[in-house]
Chain A
Amino acid sequence: MITMTEPRPAVMTTAPTLDEAIAFIWAEADMLDRLDYKAWLSLWTDEGRYIIPTERSVDDYDDRLNVVNDDAEMRAARVKRLLSGFSMSSAPPARTVRTVSRFVPQAGDDGALTLRAAQILAEYKYERMRILAADIDYRIVCGAEGLKIDRKIVTLVNCDDFLHGIGYLL
């Protein structure tokens, strides 16, 4: 559980190239569709933040209500819950197929590549298909163990309107 915002230590690494980051993001998307959540946890930096906001064009997430605002501890708790078999919305979850594309590198800082992308995800459960579209902002760093996600902000196109229960990871 995150209770407060602490200053983040600077990450001193070499920035990945755009091609490396895209291959990494596709591998992450594949992992999520396959529910390989334990492996997914290891893709993150220790300080990494996974955020799904309820408003668009926000820059301060900690003082606002989000759908998800996870640090490492909450991510681990979330994955434990989703894989536990005791959550009826995720045992089984909707099946998902997602693509990530329209990558645009942003002005990066030292040791990191910041980019935005589009994600289109189809979910299927109970005779029903739903489409979830989102802009995603990534901050990808390159450390000793390879590429890591340092920030992932999934802004659904309808994040400020009604959603539905989501029993998987975006």
Chain B
Amino acid sequence: MSSTDLAELVRDDRALTPLYTDADIFDEEMDRIFKNTWVWVAHSSDVATANTFKTSHVGREPVIVTRDKDGKIHTLLNRCRHRAASVCEKRRGKASVFVCPYHGWSYDPNGRLRKVPHKAGYPEDFDTEEFGLVTLRTEEYNGLIFATFRPDIEPLAEFLGPARKWIDLFMKQGGGYPVKVLGEHRFRFPGNWKIQLENTTDAYHFPIVHKTFLDSLDAEAENVFDVLGQGGWVEDLGNGHSVMVMIPDLIDLDDNLDAPIPQRFEALAKELANEGYSDDQVRKVVRAVGGTGFNLNLFPNVACSMAFFRVLRPVEVDETEITHVAIGMDGGPAAANRMRLRLHEHFQGPMGFGTPDDAEGWERVQRGARAGHDQWIMLNRGVSAPEGRAEPGHNAGDVSAETGMRAAYQMWKRMMTA
């Protein structure tokens, strides 16, 4: 499909249905987007110490994210340079060497080819330096590790731009401790990856799809999660990134530490006090334990979503894998991390009070998109506040505006027609 044809599929306030359903467009996306930008692969705590690794993906390509003995992080294609067998099939772990199970070629965590069995069979000028695992450019910002196939695009920090401020705010939920991955929920839904990308910046669905979650909260918490009623907004942060502020009071977790402890955290506060934490520490941890009040959507594959990372992986045009990464406080109080785990389980995951309804909704979008290929996906909610935040007295740019989706689709268009 030509760039002109692709350009016609996305307008300022709408996108055409084949963006969800056309396998050729999907193939183009995997090349033009996922092989041409920064893609999230891991959190630094996934590879916390020397010789640890985590397997991940950049677009459709399986990779291993490693930390070598000198502490440097690498992203390596998970394929032996000999005859392509995968060299690692574990989700995560510790390894000082990756040995291909087929003919025994072995690689260091930095990708270097260490040893080739029965090397005599190769020409004398066989140079192991030429046959290391293919290494992607890898950079980190505040614990978020991204990789790219492109050696020549802008540095990660520049790509993130104004999103960096929100990443820094998000990481305050460590409550004074570094943020650490506590576990992962993974699930797939039969639908296009962009349906999920949209959803992380969609407050409009929340009170409808998540009514049963809201009903399961105490009255005070239910008010906190009244996400449409708190003066929130959505901002386009450039490069397809956006932030959706749902609970303005929870933007900066270092603020309002003197506020009364919410009812649902009272038992935790008491437990921490009994364990000897100072009142200041208790307040900081308790304010952080529920996460932030915003979703930061980073194009194309990760969101810092209130209290967890939401990672998407396109599998097929109509199949997407989602990972909800539970995070906590590295070295923080065990009771606080346990509370974070229970809060995460409450909403997220295949049987949470929220996720199954999201997944069903996304599947329904894909099913509905079988009809009307000439129809538009409408993204025009709040379009009269193009800068994101509405002027006083104007409600078009409120938290339910589709500003973040428009930002993502404009980046899609830019990359797909470049």
A84 to B353, CA, bound (A): 12
A160 to B350, CA, bound (A): 12
Contacts of B333-355 to chain A: CB distance below 8 A: 334-335, 337-339, 341-346, 349-351, 353, 355
The number of residue pairs between A and B whose CB atoms lie closer than 8 Å in the complex comes to 119
Neighbouring A residues of B341 by C-beta, 8 Å: 62-66, 69
Neighbouring B residues of A66 by C-beta, 8 Å: 341, 345
Q: How many residues of chain A get a CB closer than 8 Å to chain B's CBs?
A: 37
Q: Is the CB of A63 within 8 A of B359?
A: no
Is B363 among interface residues, defined by CB-CB distance under 8 A?
yes
A67 to B351, CA, bound (A): 6
Neighbouring B residues of A170 by C-beta, 8 Å: 351
Is B278 among interface residues, defined by CB-CB distance under 8 A?
no
Is B215 among interface residues, defined by CB-CB distance under 8 A?
yes
Is A102 among interface residues, defined by CB-CB distance under 8 A?
no
**Residue on A nearest B188 in the bound complex, by CB:** A162
Neighbouring B residues of A2 by C-beta, 8 Å: 342
A68 to B348, CA, bound (A): 10
**B411: min CB distance to chain A, Å:** 27
**A111: min CB distance to chain B, Å:** 28
A62 to B345, CA, bound (A): 11
Is A17 among interface residues, defined by CB-CB distance under 8 A?
no
A41 to B321, CA, bound (A): 33
**Residue on B nearest A93 in the bound complex, by CB:** B356
Is A90 among interface residues, defined by CB-CB distance under 8 A?
yes
**A76: min CB distance to chain B, Å:** 10
Contacts of A70-94 to chain B: CB distance below 8 A: 74, 77-78, 80-81, 84, 86-90
Contacts of A153-168 to chain B: CB distance below 8 A: 160-167
From B184, B215, B321, B358, give the contact of A84 (CB < 8 A).
B215
**A-contact bits for B319-335, CB 8 A (1 contact / 0 none):** 00100001000000011
Q: Is the CB of B360 within 8 A of A65?
A: no
Q: Is the CB of A126 within 8 A of B363?
A: yes
From B184, B338, B346, give the contact of A54 (CB < 8 A).
B184
Q: Is the CB of B351 within 8 A of A68?
A: yes
Neighbouring B residues of A67 by C-beta, 8 Å: 185, 345, 349-351
Q: Is the CB of B185 within 8 A of A161?
A: no
**A-contact bits for B177-213, CB 8 A (1 contact / 0 none):** 0000011111111100000000000000000010111
**Residue on B nearest A163 in the bound complex, by CB:** B350
Q: Is the CB of B185 within 8 A of A87?
A: no
> Known: A62-B338, A65-B345. Is A162-B186 also a contact (CB below 8 A)?
yes
Q: Is the CB of B264 within 8 A of A84?
A: no
Q: Is the CB of A165 within 8 A of B189?
A: yes
**B181: min CB distance to chain A, Å:** 10
A67 to B324, CA, bound (A): 11
Q: In terms of DSSP, what is the predominant structure of the interface of chain B?
A: helix
From B189, B264, B361, give the contact of A88 (CB < 8 A).
B361
Which among B189, B341, B343, B358 has the highest number of chain A CB atoms within 10 Å? B341
Q: In terms of DSSP, what is the predominant structure of the interface of chain A?
A: loop
A167 to B337, CA, bound (A): 27
A4 to B337, CA, bound (A): 10
Q: Is the CB of B183 within 8 A of A54?
A: yes
Is A57 among interface residues, defined by CB-CB distance under 8 A?
no
A87 to B345, CA, bound (A): 17
**Residue on A nearest B213 in the bound complex, by CB:** A81
Give the contact-size bracket for chain B: 35 or more
**B265: min CB distance to chain A, Å:** 9
Q: Is the CB of A3 within 8 A of B339?
A: yes
**B105: min CB distance to chain A, Å:** 27
Is A142 among interface residues, defined by CB-CB distance under 8 A?
no
**Residue on A nearest B367 in the bound complex, by CB:** A126
Q: Is the CB of A165 within 8 A of B216?
A: no
A78 to B352, CA, bound (A): 9
**Residue on A nearest B267 in the bound complex, by CB:** A3
Neighbouring A residues of B326 by C-beta, 8 Å: 65
A132 to B209, CA, bound (A): 26
Neighbouring A residues of B139 by C-beta, 8 Å: none
Neighbouring B residues of A164 by C-beta, 8 Å: 187-189, 350, 359
**Residue on B nearest A69 in the bound complex, by CB:** B345
**B-contact bits for A37-65, CB 8 A (1 contact / 0 none):** 00000000000000010100000001111
Q: Is the CB of B215 within 8 A of A80?
A: yes
Neighbouring B residues of A84 by C-beta, 8 Å: 211-212, 215
Neighbouring A residues of B364 by C-beta, 8 Å: 88
> Known: A52-B351, A166-B351. Is A1-B264 also a contact (CB below 8 A)?
yes
| 6 nearest A-B pairs in the assembled complex, by CB-CB distance | A65-B183, A165-B359, A165-B356, A89-B356, A89-B360, A81-B212
Interface residues of A (CB under 8 A from B): 1-5, 52, 54, 62-69, 74, 77-78, 80-81, 84, 86-90, 126, 128, 160-167, 170
Add 18 more A-B contacts to A66-B341, A88-B360 (CB < 8 A).
Answer: A3-B267, A54-B184, A62-B338, A64-B183, A65-B326, A65-B344, A67-B350, A78-B353, A81-B212, A84-B212, A84-B215, A89-B356, A126-B367, A160-B91, A164-B359, A165-B358, A166-B350, A166-B351
11 example contacts (A-B, Cβ-Cβ < 8 A) are as follows A4-B268, A63-B341, A65-B182, A65-B341, A69-B345, A80-B212, A87-B356, A89-B357, A163-B185, A164-B188, A165-B357
Interface residues of B (CB under 8 A from A): 91, 182-190, 209, 211-213, 215-216, 264, 267-268, 271, 321, 326, 334-335, 337-339, 341-346, 349-351, 353, 355-361, 363-364, 367
